[in-house]
Amino acid sequence: MPVAGASGRDAGTVPAVTSDATLSFAAMNNLVEHAALGQGANLFLELAIPLTLGIGFNTLRTRLDYFVSRFLFRRRYRAEAALNEFAQSCAFIDKPGRLLDLTVEEVFKQSSAQGVALYEQDNEGYKQVRHRGTQAFPVRVETDDPAFIRLRAGHHAVDLHERSSTLGGEGYVFPLSVRGTVIGVLVCGPRPGEQYTVDERKLLAHVVHQVGAALHALRVQESMQRLEAKARLVEVLANSTWPPSPEVQAKARELVSAAVPI
């Protein structure tokens, strides 16, 4: 019976494998019967049986290799399509926190990495703001970490295997760059038994670049909103009696100590 959702070629491959194996054993049985009737049967069997079995199992192996290749191709095709779609749509996310959540979630899901972490730059270096997976990453990374120096110098993905970094010795680091400034990084840990291909690294770099541009735009928008709020507060203070009301004082304290929500 054809497998649901499989192509015509795939559906016919399962019975073909069984048929090939059945024919091989039938041919071997036929050879045994004929060899038993003549002289030199032992020598004939020693040559014919391994040859027949070899042909059958080689065919079976070819079919299985085909199934594995088809499975891996489909998985990578779906992952590539999902990441490209996210790269196109991330600029339309309105909240920075939501953008960070979806970025780490999508990259972790589609890359099959053991761990994914996203860092944003602050006054003390780079702070981890999102993380997914079983692989642990440091909460903070110094600005002059060897991997980050290389990121700023080349603005392209860095292989952690080639750098001595607090992020570890496996995986890749991708820069969130805006106009030559690295505002953050995304770290993809290793995958069990599988390396990142050149095309996969290029796609991840493209996704991270788009996320960096979107995040920068949202941060600028937040800064403008805070400046506008402070300007309105100054106007209120200038036109109010002194001392200002408790409500105005509370608003002033809130604006002065406001931190960017992440």
pLDDT digits (tens, 9 = 90+) for 106-142: 999 999 999 999 999 998 899 999 999 999 999 999 9
- Say yes or no to pLDDT of 81 above 70: yes
pLDDT digits (tens, 9 = 90+) for 8-58: 444 444 444 444 545 444 555 554 455 444 545 555 555 556 655 566 566
* For residues 66-79, average pLDDT: 66
For the chain, the three-class secondary structure string (H helix, E strand, C coil) is CCCCCCCHHHHCHHHHHHHHHHHHHHHHHHHHHHHCCCCCHHHHHHHHHHHHHHHHHHHHHHHHHHHHHHHHHHHHHHHHHHHHHHHHHHHHCCCHHHHHHHHHHHHHHHHCCCEEEEEEEECCEEEEEEEEECCCCCCEECCCCHHHHHHHHHCCCEEHHHCCCCCCCCCEEEEEEECCEEEEEEEECCECCECCCHHHHHHHHHHHHHHHHHHHHHHHHHHHHHHHHHHHHHHHHHHCCCCCCHHHHHHHHHHHCCCCCC
pLDDT digits (tens, 9 = 90+) for 176-218: 988 888 899 999 999 888 889 999 999 999 999 999 999 999 8
